[in-house]
A and B are shown apart, each in its own frame.
Chain A
Amino acid sequence: MYEHEGEKYFVVDAHIALWDGRASNQKNIHGKQFIDCFYDYHKNLSPTDAVWDYDTYTYYGGQRLLKDLFEDGYVDHAIFQPAILGEFYRTGFGQTEEALELTRQNPGRLTYNHAWDPRFGEEGLKQLREDAGRMNLKGVKLYTAEWHGDSRGWKLDDPWSRRYLEECLELGIKNIHVHKGPTIRPLDRDAFDVADIDKVATDYTDLNFIVEHVGLPRLEDFCWIATQESNVYGGLAVAMPFIHTRPGYFAQILGELLYWIGEDKILFSSDYAIWTPKWLVEKFVDFQLPAGQSEYGPITVEQKKKILGLNAAALYDLDVPEELRLPTDAGDTDAEVAAGAKEAVAS
């Protein structure tokens, strides 16, 4: 919980990781390139006093995670969104068992989301059923640009992917987080393309599709789709840190999101450990859209409360203390989204 100027905010960090990018876990040069790329993101967009040394960054472990999020970072609840990257790392990049154990040890504070890949076919479906039970899955993080053998990726509307989505419906895994951001080892055709989200969001209205990194660098395509689909959400991971380095630009992203998808569909996340939540939460609560731009803002305290935690809490049925609650349409698939934009698009 974060308290500032008499207002209390319930904070959900909707995208965190417990990774091992150390040389000992790297399978090949791409494992090194991947963690180095993450470290450049971290160095480039963090405030100087929040920059870690490289060795700590490659592996920080569970205790450091708990401290950064819950002791220092004001976070009430955090959700693991792992990238597996089995072709780059011996035990995967995201540390499944370690994160799962940490989740068990900290009931109510952590949620573990796992991943699936439709290219594993029937075997993968079987695995998903086992994982859902063992991991108590409420959500998954999908990485459509992951390499698998000769394939450079897949799409959410591939026939096998649809079978997995149907299985998610059966298993009660209702939150489908999809990485649609700055690309990594992409497939050639649609590394950033969000069109597949459009198709499956229409077909699976009982699932929530959370587009991580708000589709940057295809923000407009994401907004256009999300305006028309009430079960499409935007995760602010990677967009968040611009609040420090380029606040004017962050205002434009946030302004566009509020216009197109509305305050009930935007989720805060630090993308820990790329960035730590403490400074992001502080800056976000202090943040204001520029008064000079009449088409934006001002952003209200209520909107900030929803974005910082209440929307994600609704998607994950988290228990929010009475005094911190607000009504939100998040999770309500019949709710109108960004009514102004939606009407304009429909006409």
Chain B
Amino acid sequence: MSTVTPAAKTSLASEVTAALATVVDPELDEPITDLGFVRSIRIDDVGVTVHLRLPTSFCAPNFAYLMAADAQDALRRVPGAGRVMVLLDDHHDSDRINAGLALNAGYRGTFGPEAEDSLDELRRIFQRKAHTAAMERCVMALLRTTDRKLEDLHELTLGELPGGPHKEALLRRRTDIGLGIGPDDLVVVDEDGRPVAQSAVPLRLRYAKAVRVSVEGNAHFCRGLLATRYDDEPGGLTTHITDTRRAS
């Protein structure tokens, strides 16, 4: 439960929450704070302790590890946070992941020989998917709301896209995978940012749509399962925030 806190404390709690909001589920492409994955935040004189939870005990350990490690990194960047502890609850690899995080053991150090050396490539696969889905949302919205034609989408530039959440999301995803965000940069590009020939645009968009349906479907699953899994818990999927730090 949130406690009534003086302004100075609220500021740290909100900074912690903001830091956690920068952590996304790589598969779902949504912040862990929106997904209900942050179970509790405790701020005390020593530091910050965050408990994370996931839709099932069997969520892929590589993704679980990515999110927990990203959360730890994000919290360590909050000035004055103190000692940071991130704990993953109710997962089949909870003990392993929590021990690995506490020791800064890295993914391979946590999981041993069958693990890849690093999860960067995995992260990149999903960042590319997120970009493809975001591009499709922007382009389809444009086709629905303007007289823009499919035939000339190969020439569409970022500057021609109307502002709004779809465009902002696209620009963020482009930045994540190292694509330009200038007004003259092309919108419909392949995964490496290369232009798509006019004749290939319909298939590129069709594939992009399948990517979007896939990502969104997984998000439906995860939200639903998380709600079912924790529906008996007091407060449901809200984040419990406790702040006992004495004002300095």
The answer to the question of B116 belonging to the interface, with a C-beta cut-off of 8 Å to chain A, is yes
**A253 close to B58 (CB less than 8 A):** no
Q: Which residues of B contact A256 (CB under 8 A)?
A: 209-210, 213
**Complex CA distance for A189 and B58, rounded to whole angstroms:** 15
Interface on chain B toward A: helix, strand, loop, or mixed SS? helix
Of A67-75, A163-171, A211-219, A297-305, the one contacting chain B is A211-219
- In this complex, the interface size class of chain A, counting residues with CB under 8 Å from chain B, is 35 or more
Count the A-B residue pairs with Cβ separation under 8 angstroms: how many?
A: 104
The answer to the question of B225 belonging to the interface, with a C-beta cut-off of 8 Å to chain A, is yes
Minimum CB–CB distance for A314 against chain B, Å: 26
The answer to the question of A137 belonging to the interface, with a C-beta cut-off of 8 Å to chain B, is no
Minimum CB–CB distance for B95 against chain A, Å: 11
Q: Given A33-B58, A44-B225, A245-B224, are A187 and B210 neighbors across the interface (CB < 8 Å)?
A: no
**B228 close to A43 (CB less than 8 A):** yes
Interface on chain A toward B: helix, strand, loop, or mixed SS? helix
**Complex CA distance for A192 and B224, rounded to whole angstroms:** 20
The answer to the question of B206 belonging to the interface, with a C-beta cut-off of 8 Å to chain A, is yes
Partner of B116, one of A45, A151, A189, A341: A189
A-B contact pairs, 25 of them (CB 8 A): A33-B56, A37-B58, A183-B60, A185-B58, A185-B92, A186-B58, A186-B62, A187-B114, A189-B116, A191-B62, A192-B60, A217-B214, A219-B210, A219-B217, A220-B129, A223-B210, A239-B217, A242-B217, A249-B213, A249-B216, A260-B210, A341-B206, A344-B202, A344-B203, A347-B199
User: Beyond A217-B221, A219-B217, A345-B203: 16 further Cβ-contacts under 8 Å?
Assistant: A40-B56, A44-B224, A151-B114, A182-B56, A185-B92, A186-B62, A188-B114, A188-B115, A216-B214, A216-B218, A220-B129, A242-B220, A249-B213, A249-B216, A252-B216, A253-B213
Interface residues of B (CB under 8 A from A): 27, 55-62, 92, 111, 113-116, 129, 199, 202-203, 206-207, 209-211, 213-218, 220-221, 224-225, 227-229
